[in-house]
Structure 1
Amino acid sequence: MNNSSLKIGLFNECFPPIQDGVAQVVENYARLLQERGNDVTVATAKVPFFDYSQPYHVRNFLSIPVLMRMPYRFGVPIWMAPFQPIMKYNADIFHGHSPFTAGRIALKLSRKYNAPFIMTFHSKFRDDFRRSVPSDTIVDLMIKRIMSLYEYADEVWIPQPAVLDVMREYGYKGKVEVVPNAIDYDLGNQDINILKAESRCKLGLKDNEICLLFVGQIIYEKNIQYILDSVKLLKDVPYKMYFVGKGYAAIEFHEKIKQYGLQDKIFMTGQLQDRSALQVYYAAADLFLFPSLYDNAPLVLREAAAHHTPAILLEKTTSAEVIESGKNGFLSPQGQPSVFADTIKKVLSDKKNLDNVGKTASETLGLRWSQLMPEVEDRYRHLILRKQNG
């Protein structure tokens, strides 16, 4: 078992062409585990007419669009499509990254073939449900339903310790293993100062202009309104702010930027599938603004850090657990937008310290997927042996 190739199944509703943090996790797992000589299959919700050609296998299950959260898709429940090809897929280990249809299929197959079943907890689902479901009682039932899946898992993984608090709040009582997220950017011996200067030039930034950045879904849950209300107060700061991403609230925030009269300062790029194009923004930025109450362990925080771009987060949030304020990032008290704006101004007032914090961020938050995958594969092998030995 130690040297043999593993047959690994990764299950998630979301996968390119639909992109978010969890899809990126699954994509990197698949790519690197395949490169390590394993036989990897990603099982995901089918997007019609999309070419899923990859160096690894991609198998689809039937899906329907999530109208309240386009472009996401939701897998058709197993009982409605029990004979689709994915239901015959066999593997040495099944790893679910979504507690919806994808995770349910992984559980069913793991039982069918007596193989280990892992679930990773990625998201604050209650926040998602509350936006589209008007009844707290129904939301509670939905949370109970999805959390039951984690109780069936042989192991439950979380990306950082504070995520366990969210799971306990949702009613999960079992054990967890901490397996961190990582990044795919590797600057190697590249001179970060040259990269930053070149990136600023590509964006047309002036020498005296501060570059502020947000990368992620353009949705209310990410606290984007709070960011807009905060940067609106930076009247004495020569800045440019870039929002990279797409989401259901993009049009509304476009209008809000116009309403604030900030079209010449705040720009929305849309989603950038090209990782090198996204890197230009990470490298050009002076500060990454991420006051989200919604995220657990955002990859974008680490990706910015890899480019010596430190972030400002809100105190007492799950994602802030990895930040030591003034060392590898900055924390702002939760409060009115003026509080966040004041924190931005204070951070920008000390350029030397900002640079030092950016450097430390790159050293402490820059774990790469290639460094993590040997641990992941080792965990898989131990879990398979444990299952085989009863």
Structure 2
Amino acid sequence: MKIAMFTDSYLPNTDGVVSSILAFKQGLEKRGHTMYVFAPDADGQAKDPKVFRYHSVKFPPYPQYRAAVFPYVPADVAKKTGVQVVHSKAMVNMGLSAMNFASRASLPSVASLETMIPDGVHYIIKHRGAQQAGKKLAWGYLKWFYSNFDLVTAPSHHTQILMAENGIESIVLPSPVDTNFFKPNGRGEKMKRELGISGKKVVLAVGRIVEEKNYSLIVKAAAAMRDPGTVFLIVGRGPYLERLKGEIAAAGLQEKVKVAGFVSGREKLVDIYNAADVFAFASPFETQGLVQLEAMACGTPACILKDTAPAEAIDEGRNGFTFSDDPKDCAEKLQDCIEKKKKFSLAARKTVIGKYSVGALSGKLAHEYEKLIEGRGR
């Protein structure tokens, strides 16, 4: 089977969408399938005959990302490559290209919701009074967009419910995690020395530094920790970075909360996961929470905001805890998780192996592709 995967983000980017594509690609190729990727061009991109790149420009809110400009894919690409199904991990530029290509080439199509676009309208609409209307328009667009695909997938039950409330039907198909890559590696202490936090207990947060990720709650929890020697390490970049640093300075927590910035290379990220005693996630707007699962695959238990998509992976009191939107509760749960790390570590990894393995989820995706292809052949 040959698959055309469309995405607005691909290598050398290292975000959740890229991780999802790479994991599915690995699993599908092990099953004998071929994936072609259609993506915007990017600085530092490697040449790959199975990757089609399209002219792009920088995306202002995130300069490290690029937006494809009118990425038209001729229908005869289907004949040249032999692709049998189109899958879009994009919702805008490359997503519209996927929709158009599948229609013109008469191919079955799948689309996955990976990012909550309605929660990002404030980057485009600055007037707070108009932002709620902007969210409604965004959901209206998504409802129209996904109606053009034969199958829609959601990465979590939480996201599936939210989509259904806005008129979008879907099946749940999470993104997998490569547990042969993300695993305990014994290099955590070495990484602590490199970061200048040797001998410290470490609370780790990884992701884009944006306001909606709720890093402010993590910073406030740092001030409320019982153990004054615990260090909070925040890894990532984004438009909220300078304001976050300002919050840390204003609270006098520069020695307790360290901002490491962007980490280049997945290998180093694995070492950072291994250096952590607990992974903290306070974002209410995730569709799944891949970074949390990567950390758990490395044997790091997690503390997650209640009633969110990432909380679905938490078996309370076995592989981590959930906390309310309260700094004191967050701090208490983080402290408990640190104290129970040895007990929780194996369970955290087993959760990812059991529920989010590359083999099982790639097999499920391949089965959905095959059903669509067979349906078109009747």
Q: TM-score, normalised by structure 2?
A: 0.88
- Which of 55, 73, 82 aligns to 2:66? It is 73
Q: Which residue of 2 aligns with 1:330?
A: 321
| 2:39 aligned counterpart, secondary structure | strand
Q: How do residues 162-201 of structure 1 correspond to structure 2 at under 5 angstroms?
A: 162-172=158-168, 174=169, 176-186=170-180, 192=184, 194-201=186-193
Q: Which residue of 2 aligns with 1:159?
A: 155
| 2:64 aligned counterpart, secondary structure | coil
Matched, 1:7 2:2: yes
The runs of 5 or more residues in structure 1 that have no matched partner are: 1-5
Q: C-alpha displacement at 1:17, in angstroms?
A: 2.7
Q: Which residue of 2 aligns with 1:381?
A: 370
- Which of 329, 334, 339 aligns to 2:329? It is 339
Q: C-alpha displacement at 1:198, in angstroms?
A: 4.8
* Aligned 8 A contact 2:301 2:337 in 1: no
* Aligned 8 A contact 1:30 1:42 in 2: no
Q: Which residue of 2 aligns with 1:51?
A: 45
Distance 1:194 1:15 in 2: 30
Cα 1:147/1:61, change in 2 over 3 Å: farther
Instruction: Describe the superposition over 1:281-335 as per-residue Cα deviations: whole angstroms up to 9, x where unpaired.
Output: 1111111010110112111111111111111111112221221211222011223
Q: Which residue of 1 aligns with 2:141?
A: 145
Matched, 1:365 2:352: yes
- Which of 103, 111, 120 aligns to 1:119? It is 111
Letter in 1 for 2:47: S
- Which of 218, 229, 233 aligns to 2:209? It is 218
Distance 2:120 2:113 in 1: 14
Sequence identity (%): 24
Cα 1:65/1:88, change in 2 over 3 Å: farther
Matched, 1:230 2:221: yes
Cα 1:86/1:248, change in 2 over 3 Å: farther
* Aligned 8 A contact 2:217 2:325 in 1: no
Q: How do residues 12-27 of structure 1 correspond to structure 2 at under 5 angstroms?
A: 12-27=7-22
Distance 1:187 1:62 in 2: 32
Letter in 2 for 1:341: A
Cα 1:64/1:187, change in 2 over 3 Å: closer
Q: What is the aligned residue count?
A: 368
Q: Which residue of 1 aligns with 2:56?
A: 63
Cα 1:275/1:153, change in 2 over 3 Å: same
The runs of 5 or more residues in structure 2 that have no matched partner are: none
RMSD of Structure 2 on Structure 1 (CA): 2.4
* Aligned 8 A contact 1:10 1:30 in 2: no
* Aligned 8 A contact 1:94 1:110 in 2: yes
Flag the structure with more relative contact order, 1 or 2, with Cα contacts below 8 A and sequence separation at least 6.
Answer: 2
Distance 1:106 1:126 in 2: 21
Q: TM-score, normalised by structure 1?
A: 0.86
Q: C-alpha displacement at 1:346, in angstroms?
A: 3.7
Q: C-alpha displacement at 1:15, in angstroms?
A: 1.4
Letter in 1 for 2:143: M
Cα 1:378/1:62, change in 2 over 3 Å: same
* Aligned 8 A contact 2:3 2:85 in 1: yes
* Aligned 8 A contact 2:40 2:67 in 1: yes
Letter in 2 for 1:111: S
Cα 1:329/1:375, change in 2 over 3 Å: same
Q: Which residue of 1 aligns with 2:234?
A: 243
